[in-house]
Each structure stands twice: as C-alpha cells, then as structure tokens.
Homo-oligomer: A and B are copies of this chain.
Amino acid sequence: MRGLRKYLPILEWGKQYNRDTLTSDLVAACIVTIMLIPQSLAYALLAGLPAEAGLYASLLPLVAYGIFGTSRTLAVGPVAVVSLMTAAAIGSLGFSDLTDKLLAAACLALLSGGFLMILGVLRLGFLANFLSHPVIAGFITASGIIIALSQLKHIFGIKASGDNLIHLLHGLLSNIGEINVPTVIIGVAATTFLFWVRKGLQPLLLKLGMSKRYADLASKTGPVFAVVVTTLAAYLLDLGSQGVALVGDVPSQLPGFSIPNISMDFWLALAGPAALISIIGFVESVSVAQTLAAKRRQRIDPNQELIALGAANIAAGSTQGFPVTGGFSRSVVNFDAGAETPAAGMFTAVGIALATLLLTPLLAYLPKATLAATIIVAVLSLVDLSILGKTWRYSKADFIAVSATIIVTLTMGVELGVSAGVLLSIIIFLLKTSRPHMAIVGQVEGTEHYRNVERHQVITHPNILSVRIDESLYFANAHYLEDQIDSMAAERPSLRHVVLMCTAVNAIDMSALESLEALNRRLTDRGIKLHMSEVKGPVMDNLKHSSFLQHLSGNVYLSQHRAVSDLMEHDYCI
C-alpha cells in the first residue's frame, strides 16, 4: 500500500480533499483555462500543427499528471520550447500533409512518454543533472529568439520557414514584399497591446487600488482579450477575404483514443528527438515544480515526476496531441490563483473539454497573427543574455559551454544546440580533470595546517617535497601525475622524500594505481622514497586490495603533519 501510494500521489492528497480545497482548485482551474485556450492554440501553431492538436494536448495529459504528479501546483500542457522542438523533429521528416504531421506529433509524444517512464521506473532522474544550468539558460534564450523570429511571418502575413536564425531571416527578407497590410495591423496592434498588458497594466491596476494578487492575475488575461477583440474584428470586417490568415475550422469534438499508425522508420527517426524533448521538458518542468514547492515547503520527487510526465505524454500521444510538460508562466498563474492540489489541473482539463465542444465555431475567425503575438510576447521574457556575462566573469569553461549552446542553437537548430552544450560541458570537465592542479605545500607556522607555498607564508624542508594533488587519480590524468612528480624530483638533487598529500584524491583507479607503481619505481631509481598522507578511507580500502602498499618505498601517514614530523625525525637519526 505504501509502495502504491508512492507511485500514485493522488491516493495521498485525495484522502484530505474537502470543500475548501475544492473551491480553491475550481477558482484556479477557471483562470488557468482562460489562459490556456489561446496558449494551446498558439503552441499548436508553433509546432506546425492544426489548432485542435493544442486543445487535445491540454485534456487527458492534465488528468494523467493529476494522478501521478508530486507537484501540487504544476500546470502541464503544451509549452513554447518543447513545441519548437516538436516542430523541428517533425520538420526533419519532410511531411507536407497535415494528417501525417499530426501522426508524427502523436508518435513523438508517445516515444517521449515511454522514455520518461523508463527513466522514472529505473530512477535515473539524476541523469538530467548532466544538463548544466548555464547550458539550459543558453538553450532557452536561443530557443526564445528562434521562436520569436519564427512567428514574425504570421505578424507580416508572409510565407517563410526554417528552424534556425539564418533560414528564418533569409525567408523573412526574401518574402518581405508580400506583406499583407490588414494582417500587419492586427499583428502589430496585438503585440503592442500584449507588451503593454505585461509591463503597464499591472502597475496601473495597482495604482487604481487593486490588490497585487488580482492585478497580477488580471494582467494574465491580456491574451484572451486580444483573442476576443481580433476574432470579432475578423468576423465583422470579413478580414479572411482580405488575405488575413485565420485559424479556420476546428472540429467541435473530443479526441478518441488511438495509437498513431506510422511506419517503423519514422518511429526510429523520431526516437532521438523524443529523448531530447523528454530531457529538456523534464528539466524545465522539475525546476518550475521545485521553485513553487519550496515556497509552500512542499517536496517534489524527481523520479516520480518522470513517471507523471511520462504518463502525461503517453496520454497526449494516444489522444492526437503532441509533447507536453510543465509550463512556467501557467504554473505560476495556477499557484497564484490558489490551486491546492493537482485536481485543479483535472478541472482545467474539463474546462478545455467544454471549450472544445462549445467555443470552437467561434475560433474559426481567430487571426493567426494574434496567436503569433501572444507567442512572441511570451517567449521574449525567456530571452536573457546576461548568462553570458555572468559565466564570463565566473568561469570561462561555463562561458564556452553556454556560448556554444547559444550559437549552435541559433545557427544549426535546437537538437544540435542542446546536444553540443551537453557534450561540450562534459568534454571540458574531462579535460580539466585530465590535467589536475597540483600544489607544493608547506606548514603554516604555528599550525598543523599545510598550504600552497605560492599563496601562503609556509615552512618547507629541502629534502622533503610535499605535493598536494587536487584531483581524483584516474586514467585520464594518471600519466600526467607520473610525469609531473618525476620532473619535480629531477629538479631537486637534494631530495630524499616525496609526500603525496591526498586530501583531494577521492579515488585511485587501476590505471592510476599502475602509474603510482611506475612513479614509485622511478623515484626509487633516483634514491627518493615515496610517501602518502591523508589517504581517505574508501581509497585506502581499495589500495589494501592490491599489492601497491607492499611495493611502496615509503609510508602512508594519517596526516600531512605526522608525515613531515616523522620524516624530519627519521632524517636527523641518519
């Protein structure tokens, strides 16, 4: 039963469900539904799919997350970056037919869901940690720029395609002559209005005496207002016949269950992108969930989150949707509106179902330019280039990783961008550990403490060389250590003892052990004894399983201070 409750958090919070939580959840669900309708349509547009796919992705996935999720306030559904990645993945298959694209999108969601589930069941959530914070920040920023650019065509009413900066700019510039004036008017007006809502409305409402919480919520309804006004304008002024692209017919029905029927080749081609989408979606979602949970002193279980997001994506894939994850702005609204349990998400799904059945005839007149405007305003808040300056000042390695991520994402697309960032940060880490920092150390006067001779005023002895190795010893740095210590010894003719201070040596693998044995022999040839100090417990346990300690010409000391004291005494005796 406890095991079941771990995998089904709904059993936990469901027990305490009462009228108060119901009221809170219903209020939050209403507000999120209003916000989610334009968002789900817009992100379907961004993913290159018909509008209904966005609605379908906002139905069953929310219920699935409600059953399995550990966050009380995360709002799951289509989000900008994942929709962009979906567009890129589907685009690479070269389909022109919309039905094929829908199938591919559903297939992508199923694969992504399966992948997340497997990671969750195997408790491999920690793998997401290999995406470093700067790489994620760079990736989100670059994706935001690409998304905003990709929507400009809808604002101008021209045709253009591409999934990187160069293609997008080229497409826009070469078709700029075909601008549709009514579309531009709607697009620019909606964008300007939405920017004003975001920056100017909330302060205005506060000035008018509205409480901060309601002012915040009211300023989130901007997109709905823009949708209503521009849809009415399109209907009344018959803008469709003047060349303004409209959403068009959206079926007024709920999706059925189906597994996408698509050839094996496409499943295979989509597996890689699905894995990337899963990881990026998971990282975004968990960080939002953790931020919100911390505010209420609640806890998130990352591995259970993998299962929940997996279930949500499988639900999306089997109901003609596309990949979903927890979204930042929507979850914040859900939180601020007072959602107390994942039931709020389930009620939101009911809201979206009602909208699908009742409001779709009205949406036929919604201009695509309005949706594009909501996307542009939403994603530009993701763009934050300050990470470049921060990493430049703090760590050049992180700077290289983040700039590579941004540049590759902008010029070669999202999939290569995030892969390049992850690979590069791992490679830089490996290269750094392969040439470890070593410091010759001496005694800080009046203490038993040993520090770098170049940074501190310390006491050293001409016939004892104490070297602190600032890295675990493993295959990539084993030879380097051997050569460096041997060179240090070669430069000091009066040397009798080398003490390796192993405070920072957390492991010694087989290659490093062989190098230490070789170093021991080389130093013995020079008439120098090799000692070790402050070897950690786990490392010592390992060394005892080899013959190294028998061959070692010197001793192993508990502390550097004991090593030096003992060697001083011993040397005076001779």
Contacts and interface: CB of A to CB of B under 8 A. Distances in A.
Nearest to A399: B510
A561 B390 CA distance: 33
A391 B432 CA distance: 26
A475 B129 contact: yes
Contacts of A132: 474-475, 509-511
A509 to B, nearest CB: 6
Interface string A543-568: 00110000000000011010000000
Interface stretch (A43-51, A260-268, A404-412, A433-441): A433-441
Contacts of A536: 437, 439, 452, 470
Nearest to A537: B455
A393 B545 contact: yes
Interface string A463-477: 000000011101111
Contact of A130 (B435, B472, B476, B505): B476
Contact of A133 (B472, B514, B545): B514
Contact of A437 (B436, B437, B449, B506): B506
A475 B133 contact: yes
Contacts of A558: 444, 449, 451
Contacts of A504: 503-506
Interface in A354-407: 390-391, 393-395, 397-398
Interface in A449-502: 449, 451-452, 454-455, 470-472, 474-480
Contacts of A130: 430, 434, 475-476
B398 A449 contact: no
A572 interface: no
A432 B391 CA distance: 26
A398 B511 CA distance: 9
Contacts of A449: 448, 558-559, 561
A470 B561 CA distance: 20
A3 interface: no
A329 interface: no
A167 interface: no
A78 to B, nearest CB: 27
A558 B455 CA distance: 12
B395 A509 contact: yes
Contacts of A198: none
A346 to B, nearest CB: 29
Interface string A504-525: 1111011101100000001000
Contact of A394 (B397, B452, B545): B545
A182 B566 CA distance: 72
A429 interface: yes
Nearest to A504: B504
A452 B540 CA distance: 13
A362 B130 CA distance: 63
Contacts of A538: 437
A482 to B, nearest CB: 10
Given A129-B434, A449-B561, A503-B504, A510 B134 contact: yes
A253 interface: no
Contact of A429 (B126, B131, B294, B474): B474
A96 interface: no
B447 A397 contact: no
A92 interface: no
B506 A546 contact: no
Contacts of A455: 537
A559 B430 contact: no
Nearest to A455: B537
Contacts of A451: 558
A217 to B, nearest CB: 27
A89 to B, nearest CB: 25
A126 B436 CA distance: 13
A175 interface: no
B506 A503 contact: no
A474 B546 CA distance: 31
Given A393-B546, A477-B129, A545-B394, A511 B448 contact: no
A425 interface: yes
Nearest to A508: B395
Nearest to A514: B133
A425 B132 CA distance: 21
24 contacts: A129-B476, A129-B477, A130-B434, A130-B475, A131-B475, A132-B509, A134-B510, A134-B511, A390-B546, A398-B509, A426-B430, A429-B474, A432-B507, A436-B506, A437-B506, A444-B559, A447-B559, A447-B561, A448-B448, A470-B536, A471-B472, A471-B506, A503-B503, A504-B505
Interface of A: 126, 129-135, 294, 390-391, 393-395, 397-398, 425-426, 429-430, 432-437, 439, 444, 447-449, 451-452, 454-455, 470-472, 474-480, 503-507, 509-511, 513-514, 522, 536-538, 542, 545-546, 558-559, 561
Closest 6 pairs between A and B when the two form their complex, measured CB to CB:
A132-B475, A133-B511, A503-B503, A398-B510, A470-B506, A504-B504
Given A432-B507, A447-B561, 19 more contacts: A129-B477, A129-B478, A129-B480, A130-B475, A134-B510, A394-B542, A394-B546, A395-B509, A397-B509, A426-B430, A433-B472, A437-B538, A439-B537, A444-B558, A444-B559, A447-B448, A452-B536, A470-B506, A504-B506
